[in-house]
Amino acid sequence: MQASRAPPPQGNPPPYTFVNRFYRSSLRPVVIVVGLLSGIWTLVQAISLFREVSTDKSQGFPKLGVFAIALGALYMTVAAIEFFGVGAAALQKAALVRIYSFLSIASALIIVAGGFLLVIVHFVNKNEIINECIQLSKGDEVTVRYGIWGPVSKTQLTEAEAEDFCHSAYSHDSWGDIIALIIELVLAALFCSIAFAYYRQLMDPTSAANTSRAPSNQFRGGNYPQHYNPPYNASVPDLPYNQPYGQYAPPPGPPPNAPPYDHNAPPGYGVGDSKVELGPEKDVKDDPFGDFDGPSLGERRTGSPGEERDVTSRPRPGERETFN
């Protein structure tokens, strides 16, 4: 299962991983929320553009209707991509998230292209847009609200008032389209970075997106390849329960040039009873200070070489320190 999945990413992180510096948890809920908002917004935009087609044709501006159809189709494509990304993030399938991460680039390009197209159409077809607005506004009632809780007034526009109203609305929409294009550029780059950062999290076993799989993933029966699901304690092998002991390996033989060893002989307890000759040995009755070349303690005090001195008692005041 999923044995063809690519190994975890290596090397320096790409530029889009700056998202992880600000949001170190799993990006799955972020991708779902962003995908839902983007899909709903583009779907609403597409529906409104498709509704304008009939209005443009009925008012005698079929050219504007063609642009509305083109923009609506682009926004519908983006909505489909975003809803696909929501499903991929909800299922947590790396293959689907990988497809969505690359489709997010196409989605961003479509949004940016649609924004540029909207701005171009807005300035190139200025007269058609204003004339259509005048035809739709002339003779209609305009509702004006003063503040959120303020009074509401309704006014029926004359042709001159409709012209002023449409020119003012066109100028307002010109700035609005330019600002919207800049915002779309920034958000498109951010959404692409989030999609690729989430895909990188899924490919990294140590990331926050895979915490639900650790350490219980070792009980999944090997459903994930080894390069994706490495053991948490790689120094200890994965041993089965109640494994039988292996065959006992005998110790190696004696060192070279060693004398034969009698296994049946009891061990010796005296000096020199060792089975191996380790060097010159002395009996336990030998003088332990016999190898001392200097004069003994008694000889240094009295000059007589064989004199011994009781060192267990201390003479009383006024007595001699020796027995001579």
Q: SS3 of 56, please?
A: helix
Q: Does residue 261 lie in a domain region? A: no
CA pair distance 273, 267, nearest whole angstrom = 8
| Residue 212 included in any domain | no
- For residue 72, give the nearest of 92, 46, 97, 40 by alpha carbon: 46
Q: How far is CA 174 from CA 111, 127, 187, 257, in A?
A: 18, 13, 20, 101
Domain enclosing residue 69, as ranges: 15-126+178-205
Count: domains in the chain: 1
Strands (E), the chain: 141-145, 152-156
- 8-state DSSP, 4: T
Any domain includes 2: no
> 188 is written with which tokens?
């498109």
125: which residues sit within 8 A by CB, 6+ positions away?
Answer: 63, 64, 67
The reply to whether 318 falls in a domain is: no
pLDDT recorded at residue 142:
59
* 109 domain residue, yes or no: yes
Q: Where are the beta strands (DSSP E) in 159-292?
A: none
SS3 301: helix
* Whole-number pLDDT of residue 83: 95
In whole angstroms, give the CA distance from residue 258 to residue 210: 60
Please tell me the predicted confidence (pLDDT) of residue 1: 45
Say how far apart CA 304 and CA 291 lie, in whole Å.
19
Contact in structure between 34 and 194 (CB atoms under 8 Å): yes
Q: Work out whether strand 152-156 and strand 141-145 pair parallel, antiparallel, or are unpaired.
A: antiparallel
Is residue 37 situated within a structural domain? Answer: yes
Contact 104, 39 (CB under 8 A): no
Blockwise average pLDDT, block size 10, the chain, 324 residues: 52 52 72 92 91 81 86 93 93 89 92 90 87 76 56 67 83 87 90 86 67 50 49 54 68 72 68 55 54 55 53 63 57
Specify the pLDDT at position 140.
62
Contact residues for 232 (Cβ-Cβ < 8 A; gap 6+): 214, 215, 218
Residue 265 inside a domain? The answer is no
Residue whose entry in the numeric block shows the structure tokens 């303690």: 297
Is 223 domain-assigned? no
Which residue, among 246, 210, 251, 252, has the nearest Cα to 228 in the 3D structure? Answer: 210
